[in-house]
Structure 1
Amino acid sequence: MRTKSITRAARRLSALVAGVALAALALPAAAHDVAPGNIDADRPVSLTIHKYEQPGTGTLGNNNGALIEDVPADARALAGVEFTVWPVKNIDLLTVAGWDTAEDLTAAEVMADAGAYPLGAPVSGVTGADGALTFDRLDGLGIGLYLVRETHPGSNPIVQPAVPFLVGLPQPEGDGSWNYDVHVYPKNALSDVTKGVDDSAAVVIGDVVDWTVRSAVPVLPESTRYTDYVIQDVLDSRLGFDSISVALEGAGTLTGSDYAVSAPAKGANGEVTVEFTEAGLGKLDSAGPGAAVVVNLSTVVLALGDGVIPNTATVFINDPSRSNGHESNQVQTKWGALRIVKHAQGDQAATLEGAEFDVYAVDPSTSGAAPVASIRSGADGAASIELQTGQAHTRDYWLVETRAPAGYLVDATPIPVTVTAGALTDATVVTIANEQVPAFALPATGGIGTLAFTVLGLGLVLVGAGAYAAARRQRLAAPAV
């Protein structure tokens, strides 16, 4: 009877390693004639934790506490994950009573009742480049029952920590012998959220900039499902909401009942969230490897500020408290200012009001080129406009004068300018001179020009007198009525 009880307990502990640790590993074969008496009490023990991303297949392979030699290629090792191990002090696996107590015990029960299950001093470590971390007698481990918890994800975007688990050292081999060097494989699903921007169609303040959020739908460990999936985008104060669309990439389609959108009014600033409903979470549960939620968010640019408008997105998975979000990369749309100063040719202090320019985003000589904006100089001769500068931080524009100030000539020659991202105080300044309309110049007194005008004047007088005389004769010759 004692042997059967110990066998059941051994199976239970093995199941804890395989199941509660979310290792997706097969249970060990039944132990035969296992008894504490055949455990070598002086034999060193070790516990090696292997940390991998949840593979698309959902399993790393068959494990019973032994090392898995052929891990799937898509099960990426996770370095820098911290684990902490505590001995459960009052359970002695060298006794039948110890195995009996451990048989139906869970990690949750141990953590919930420190009085009934006192824990010894913890020991912690982080996984190496191969995702492995080994605890042995140098760390104070001996034969006994241990609580294992994932206590920090390091730099890894882990969706949720591995479920705490209990592991007994040693583990039964299934043939009456014992495995003193136990390997466990608690896996994690990783979040992967990336942000993109497309401002190629935006030119002036008020134009639309498009942002794309691509958030992975990771394959969750066994026995877990999606209970919460939220994508959040807090807009910069210089961005106003315009529109949004949501799609599920690589795993069917979404309908409006699969998610709820919370957003400010059109053109207003604020927070945009996409929260999946129960129906949508079910679709995420059934999505396979490589699936992703894709959110296309359009905003209008409200102001220039310092010229660089950043944006990130955060995804919360099975995290209703919104305390463990994973942030995307940051992307930016960049803007700068252009200022022209119009003055009289040869006198920069003589500024001119009323000069009008068309602004082109391409060379005006290009077929089909059309202006993107127009500006007009004010009383101080200046005009300013805020323009998108592209991801390269600078962008070329062209100015074409369409109307000159009164009394000045229009110069329609295109003027190329380069606008650099920055605040209004960092504006690219272009000074443009206007040539005055030539005045009608009278000839000098007494010169040869005077004689010409005199002759011309006398000629006009003679022509006029002749015309008058002819008209008079016609009237005199006409018969009386």
Structure 2
Amino acid sequence: MKNKRKWISKAAVSLGLLTMFGGVALSAGSAVYAAPPTQNISGNAVSDNTSDRSITIWKYEINSASELGERGDGESLDPAVAPDLAGKKVMQDVNFEIIKVEAIGNANLTDPLQQVEGTHWQVVSSFTRQTGKTAADGSLTFDVGTGKAADGIYLVREITDTNGEYTYTDPTTGETGIKINKPMDPFFVHLPQTKRDDTSKLIYDVHVHPKNIVTDTELDKTVESGKGYSIKAGQDFQWEATTALPSGLLSIIDEPMTITGMHDPVTGLPAANLEITGPFPYELYADYFRITDDLNASLLLKDIVVQVTDDDGATWTDLTIGTHFEVEMNGSAVTAHPVANMTAGAAKEVMVSLKEVGMKKVTEDEDTHIRVIYETTVEEDFNGKITNKYDIDYLIPGQEPFSDTSDEPEYYNGGFDIKKTDKAGNDLSGAEFHIALTEDDAKAKKYLASDGNSYTLNDDGTSTPVLPTGVTYLTSTSNASGEAHFDGLKLDWFTDSNGNGKQEPSIPSEATWDEEDIQKDYWVVETKSPSGYELLKTPQKVTVTLTTHSNTDPEVTVVNEPETKLPFTGGTGTMLLVIIAIGAITIGTAAIAIDKKRRAV
């Protein structure tokens, strides 16, 4: 059974800038914030020997670098009203450690990304390393001691969990083990810390807030909005690759900053930090955002459509090829519609890349999802199963290259073979067959056509209703080996529990069946027999599966009875008398004509 699957990947990444300020508690799993804590801020410029020293970390999610806000000052803020915090989600179970360090020589310890251990600083061995993880309100407090013995510089850094991975928990949903793409950059903290806006005061309990950008990318591949689909081969159908847009495709930067954790967009290897110095506002775009679908070679691609939505799919808006996105087919640029390849068996790797104009549009319009619709068909005689998935990859400044793969919805067609013989097993050619969807249809001469619909075949050869232009009845005529076959037939692949004829993956009972259960019944009618033989007269039921078309033995064997020899319509003696009479009349008529001619002479 294949239930609808949503492959969700989350990546949290620090941009290397710490917003250090006070944080406050909020109710676990709630968006209701408590009052900010009261800090121990002394007006005495000389550190005392009685106050407790501590560092409190508050961990929040943000969506892009533009939400980093200003640098913190070590003081607490009310997240219910602070512009940098209002509405932000906290991150639970993020692991941290602190160690006490001291400068080597005259080194200035301001940034662990610039000053390295062994050259600029060393560990103070008398302090025991402390570890912990953030609570449901996103907070973690390290109490480092009381009095002047606890004074000094501390290094705070994020560490892995017990499985050796950087992860966190969403306290609202309870989802655990969410992967953090890049851990927070380490930072130094002075205890006590000089108050930034009044350098005559000291802060004994410093509050810091390292923000992390979190991308929440959701991939969902469907075929005709379901996880399975079948239709008469040769008819059009579509695949949909729907992806939640990650945060950070465009960030508007308003002040100088350094973006760490940069990667080369070509090699994927770590690269130098990005220094943003203006002019401001500065538009920082993702290096790339790509959706790649290596379509099954049996599919015939007619075109693609790229759309976005900001209301969970109630309304979709088309993006413009060449303006908002660009396309490559098998590595070659396609600059206009149709994006097509109608050759069966040919490679069809389609890559859609958002351009900066497109990234700006989806950001400004607050679009949440993007989807690529692949308009396809297959050849009329296609049998079997087609599965298809797609990949996304993107690179946002300060993050590692990200990629993920969707699940694989399926498309099905089946066929079957007929063997036509006489009673002695001799092959018979020239027998014509139609097929129907039900036994009642077969009896009523309501036969299946190439468009997947059924039409009644009238005695005069017309149909009711009239066959659409280009549509023909599905027929097959036995060849010299007595073989006939039907291919590319629709199969049943799910339980239509609500009777609307459409698979709805959100309904558990409508999940795609196991492959061995996918099938459909058809009824075979012999509509023309070989010369000298009787019609079959009775519709034959056949169950078509994904494998019947390739079975060695035929699914239906039709044995014809020879025509019987009926009696002549008259007796032999009477016929002879008629022949003699006609001969006599002929001879008599000729004799009279000759005699008349002689007399005239």
**Bin for the TM-score computed over the shorter chain:** 0.5 to 0.7
Match of 2:574, SS state, is helix
Q: 1:214 aligns with which of 242, 261, 265?
A: 242
Check 1:235–1:255 CA distance in 2 against 1; reply closer, same or farther (3 A cut).
closer
- Determine if the alignment matches structure 1 residue 431 to structure 2 residue 556: yes
Check 1:465–1:367 CA distance in 2 against 1; reply closer, same or farther (3 A cut).
closer
- Determine if the alignment matches structure 1 residue 338 to structure 2 residue 416: yes
- Determine if the alignment matches structure 1 residue 226 to structure 2 residue 304: no
Q: Which moved more, 1:468-477 or 1:222-231?
A: 468-477
Take 1:400 and 1:74, find their aligned partners in 2: how far apart are those partners?
68
Take 1:18 and 1:427, find their aligned partners in 2: how far apart are those partners?
76
Q: Is the 8 A contact 1:83 1:124 kept in 2?
A: no
- Determine if the alignment matches structure 1 residue 382 to structure 2 residue 483: yes
Using CA pairs under 8 Å that are at least 6 residues apart, name the structure with larger relative contact order, 1 or 2: 2
Shift, 1:231, TM fit: 0.8
Q: Is the 8 A contact 2:20 2:208 kept in 1?
A: no
Shift, 1:460, TM fit: 1.5
- Determine if the alignment matches structure 1 residue 408 to structure 2 residue 533: yes
Take 2:215 and 2:22, find their aligned partners in 1: how far apart are those partners?
17
Take 1:126 and 1:304, find their aligned partners in 2: how far apart are those partners?
60
Give 2:575's aligned amino acid: G
Check 1:36–1:466 CA distance in 2 against 1; reply closer, same or farther (3 A cut).
farther
Shift, 1:298, TM fit: 2.9
- Within 5 Å, give how 1:238-317 maps onto structure 2: 238-250=298-310, 253-264=319-330, 266=341, 267=343, 268-288=346-366, 290-301=367-378, 307-317=384-394
Q: Is the 8 A contact 2:57 2:140 kept in 1?
A: yes
Match of 1:87 in 2: 98
Shift, 1:425, TM fit: 3.5
Query: Structure 1 unaligned runs (5+)?
Result: 1-12, 20-25, 444-448
Check 1:455–1:15 CA distance in 2 against 1; reply closer, same or farther (3 A cut).
closer
Take 1:270 and 1:322, find their aligned partners in 2: how far apart are those partners?
29
How many residue pairs match? The answer is 435
Shift, 1:229, TM fit: 0.8
Shift, 1:46, TM fit: 5.5
- Determine if the alignment matches structure 1 residue 166 to structure 2 residue 187: yes
Give 2:244's aligned amino acid: A
Q: Is the 8 A contact 2:22 2:209 kept in 1?
A: no
Q: 2:215 aligns with which of 189, 198, 204?
A: 189
Check 1:454–1:235 CA distance in 2 against 1; reply closer, same or farther (3 A cut).
closer
Match of 1:327 in 2: 405
Give 2:217's aligned amino acid: S
Shift, 1:431, TM fit: 1.5
Match of 2:574 in 1: 456
Match of 1:325, SS state, is strand
Match of 1:282, SS state, is helix
Give 1:246's aligned amino acid: V
Take 1:399 and 1:417, find their aligned partners in 2: how far apart are those partners?
7
Query: Structure 2 unaligned runs (5+)?
Result: 1-16, 24-35, 145-149, 169-175, 254-283, 311-316, 331-339, 436-447, 457-463, 495-517
Match of 1:244, SS state, is strand
Q: Which moved more, 1:149-158 or 1:306-315?
A: 149-158
Q: Is the 8 A contact 1:337 1:426 kept in 2?
A: no
Match of 1:116 in 2: 120
- Considering fraction of residues, name the structure with more helix: 1
Take 1:18 and 1:228, find their aligned partners in 2: how far apart are those partners?
36
Take 2:553 and 2:86, find their aligned partners in 1: how far apart are those partners?
54
Q: Is the 8 A contact 1:149 1:165 kept in 2?
A: no
Match of 1:312, SS state, is coil
Q: What do the CA deviations read for 1:189-212 (whole angstroms, capped 9, x no partner)?
A: 2112221213868523x6554211
Match of 2:433 in 1: 357
Take 1:474 and 1:124, find their aligned partners in 2: how far apart are those partners?
138
RMSD: 5.3
Match of 1:148 in 2: 158
Identity %: 17
Take 1:73 and 1:460, find their aligned partners in 2: how far apart are those partners?
115
Take 1:29 and 1:416, find their aligned partners in 2: how far apart are those partners?
83
Q: 2:545 aligns with which of 420, 425, 433?
A: 420
Check 1:222–1:380 CA distance in 2 against 1; reply closer, same or farther (3 A cut).
same
Q: Is the 8 A contact 1:394 1:421 kept in 2?
A: yes
Give 2:329's aligned amino acid: A
Take 1:202 and 1:39, find their aligned partners in 2: how far apart are those partners?
81
Take 1:287 and 1:391, find their aligned partners in 2: how far apart are those partners?
39
Q: Which moved more, 1:393-402 or 1:65-74?
A: 65-74
Shift, 1:274, TM fit: 0.9
Check 1:183–1:76 CA distance in 2 against 1; reply closer, same or farther (3 A cut).
closer
Shift, 1:232, TM fit: 1.1
Q: Is the 8 A contact 1:88 1:119 kept in 2?
A: yes
Take 1:454 and 1:210, find their aligned partners in 2: how far apart are those partners?
71
Take 1:304 and 1:18, find their aligned partners in 2: how far apart are those partners?
69
Take 2:596 and 2:357, find their aligned partners in 1: how far apart are those partners?
109
Take 1:255 and 1:195, find their aligned partners in 2: how far apart are those partners?
21
Give 2:326's aligned amino acid: A
Take 1:189 and 1:66, find their aligned partners in 2: how far apart are those partners?
25
Shift, 1:322, TM fit: 9.2
Shift, 1:253, TM fit: 4.3
Match of 2:47, SS state, is helix
Check 1:372–1:177 CA distance in 2 against 1; reply closer, same or farther (3 A cut).
farther
Give 2:403's aligned amino acid: G
Q: Is the 8 A contact 1:342 1:352 kept in 2?
A: yes
Q: Is the 8 A contact 2:62 2:212 kept in 1?
A: no
Check 1:295–1:252 CA distance in 2 against 1; reply closer, same or farther (3 A cut).
closer
Take 2:453 and 2:381, find their aligned partners in 1: how far apart are those partners?
22
Q: Which moved more, 1:333-342 or 1:314-323?
A: 314-323
Q: What do the CA deviations read for 1:91-116 (whole angstroms, capped 9, x no partner)?
A: 49xxxx99x945x42x5335x76643
Match of 1:5 in 2: none
